[in-house]
Amino acid sequence: MATVTVSSKYQIVIPKEVREALDIKPGQKMGILVKGRTAHLVPIVGLDALQGAYAGMDISGLREKEDRY
């Protein structure tokens, strides 16, 4: 497990192995989820990163016949 130290300005440095594993780039936004006494950093990706993620997906049977236009 990687560890970090909180600076006097409440800043942390994300360890290199974590940045590489999550493909975090300088300037990238991160979300922080707090559950109990645990904080989770979540990289925020834009919609352009999702483009093509579902290419070729079979969409038959996803909607009822009366819903189709």
Interval 32-54: pLDDT, tens: 999 999 999 888 877 877 777 77
Kindly report whether the global pTM for this prediction surpasses the value 0.95: no
Chain-centroid distance, C-alpha 27: 14
Quick check: 16 and 28 in contact, CB under 8 A? no
30 lies in a domain? yes
27 lies in a domain? yes
63 lies in a domain? no
31 lies in a domain? yes
Higher pLDDT, 52 or 15: 15
56 lies in a domain? no
7 lies in a domain? no
Tally the domains of the chain. Answer: 1
What range does the domain containing 31 cover? 13-45
17 lies in a domain? yes
